[in-house]
Amino acid sequence: MTDTRPIHQPANDRSAELPVGPRPAVPPMPDDLARWASADAVARPVRLARLRERMAQEAVDVYFGVSRENTRYLTGFVLAEGEEKVAGDSGRFLVSPAEVVVLVDSRYREQAEEECRGLRIEESYYDLPDRWEAIVRSLRAADGRPVRRVAVEATLVSHALWQALQAAAPDVELVAAGSWVEELRAVKEPAEIERIAAACAVADEALTRLLPSIRPGVTEHDLALQLEWEMRTHGAEALAFDVTCLSGPRAALPHGSPGDRPVTAGGVLLFDFGAQVAGYRSDMTRTLFVGEPSRRELELYRLVAVSQEAAFRALAEAASEHDAPTGVSVDAAARDVIAAAGHGDHFGHGLGHGIGLATHEMPSLSRRALPAPLPWPTVFSIEPGIYLPGETGIRIEDLVVFDPESDTLERLTGFPREVTVVGS
């Protein structure tokens, strides 16, 4: 039996009743998948144009990318999660003012020809330094001169590869690119938001279907496996990340892994999970109660919920004024609630993170976030938590779409935020 109970009387303002956006079909319809693919094809030239503007501002002639998310965003070439570890040079790309070059080996050539229409495909099979000079020499700067400066996604390129590329073309300067493409990805197009919403809907329904299976004695591992099955068989092409399912004191591990521990009555059960739909991801945390919750844990849950609503309120007020707060200020709005209750030391992680092609991407909402206002339109998580080592852990996480230009602040996560009692 599942029982849901309100966490408190909502305040009379917009943030306490944060609306849930439109619920996409589960599983996504073929027409949706085709429409999203078409939207990406239309958007890529615009994305590339924005990158080229940044290249011009930074006085670089070519951009060399290796991130699989950036590759998909700019070229359409898709590598699965973790596949870049065995793909060699495949999926790396170069952008000049006039061309886009996608590197692949024989294993991926047919795929690249299908997914990267109109782009130049060059073969490279674990031998990029040997091919580097010829590829760079084949490109031209904006004014037609030979390439002199190449921006490199330095955080993902090893020191050894950097040195090898520099040695292969010593008169071509390599410079470290900042988060140029990641900043572009932080601003979401309508079709991107639709896919994140679709991934949220898949995850919402998966947890709803799982609830009757939660009972004392079932293990964390088995529940995590069933939740993965529910997502994969009802619209998810993959998981956004491995399912977290933690019971009782283990819920105090913010990123713990499910084990053989059986669920027991009288404790919490924390799920952190997400689905992937057409490349885009969701991320949700729900802390459920197995049997009647203790007064202490119920108070902690209410405190975390009020903390989350403080963040919603800060965002809603900014959106209504067609403005954007900083990630630092939104984090502080939520964190201050928890700190005022004496649990500041029990909330160690940031309040939220952007999400899209990657589970964690820009923007950041944390004490260490950039001081600039949040970009928009964008999607990010709001996930305050309290973790008492050896005792319990509570976290509530929802994805929101934030767009002050259209006075929009909506929850994409549809599963209820109220106290939920299961297994009784």
Question: pLDDT, tens digit, for every residue of 154-203?
Answer: 999 999 999 999 999 999 999 999 999 999 999 999 999 999 999 999 99
CA pair distance 133, 130, nearest whole angstrom:
7
Q: Which two tokens stand for residue 374?
A: 């949040």
> Which pLDDT belongs to residue 12?
34
Q: pLDDT category, 424, cuts 50, 70, 90? A: confident
Q: Where in the chain is the domain with CATH 3.40.350.10?
A: 59-176
Backbone angles phi, psi at 253, to 5 degrees: -95, 105
pLDDT higher than threshold 60 for residue 276:
yes
Single-letter residue type at 278: A
pLDDT higher than threshold 60 for residue 66:
yes
> Which pLDDT belongs to residue 22?
79
Q: pLDDT category, 210, cuts 50, 70, 90? A: very high
pLDDT higher than threshold 90 for residue 23:
no
Number of H helices, E strands in the chain: 10, 21
CA pair distance 315, 332, nearest whole angstrom:
12
- Strands (DSSP E) contained in 18-134 are 62-65, 93-95, 100-104, 120-123
Q: Within 13 A of 373's CA, how many CA atoms are on the CB side?
A: 14
> Which pLDDT belongs to residue 13?
38
CATH topology of domain 59-176: Creatine Amidinohydrolase; Chain A, domain 1 (3.40.350)
pLDDT, the chain, mean = 94
If you search the block for the tokens 């079932």, which residue do you land on?
Answer: 218
Q: Where in the chain is the domain with CATH 3.90.230.10?
A: 3-28+187-422
pLDDT higher than threshold 80 for residue 400:
yes
pLDDT higher than threshold 60 for residue 15:
no
pLDDT higher than threshold 70 for residue 363:
yes
Q: Within 13 A of 34's CA, how many CA atoms are on the CB side?
A: 3
> Which pLDDT belongs to residue 403?
95
Tell me the average pLDDT across 327-338: 98
Q: 3-state DSSP: the chain helix, strand, coil percent, rounded to 5?
A: 40, 20, 40
CATH superfamily of 3-28+187-422: Creatinase/methionine aminopeptidase superfamily (3.90.230.10)
pLDDT higher than threshold 90 for residue 8:
no
Backbone angles phi, psi at 5, to 5 degrees: -135, 140
Q: Tens digit of pLDDT for each residue in 103-142?
A: 999 999 999 999 999 999 999 999 999 999 999 999 999 9
> Which pLDDT belongs to residue 255?
86
pLDDT higher than threshold 60 for residue 419:
yes
> Which pLDDT belongs to residue 1?
39
> What is the SS3 assignment for 255-286?
CCCCCCCECCCCEEEEEEECEEECCEECCEEE
Measured between its terminal Cα atoms, the distance across the chain in Å is 6
Tell me the average pLDDT across 383-401: 97
If you search the block for the tokens 């990805």, which residue do you land on?
Answer: 185
> Which pLDDT belongs to residue 7?
38
Asked if residues 197 and 204 have their Cβ atoms less than 8 Å apart, the reply is no
Q: Which two tokens stand for residue 315?
A: 């965002």
CA pair distance 15, 19, nearest whole angstrom:
9
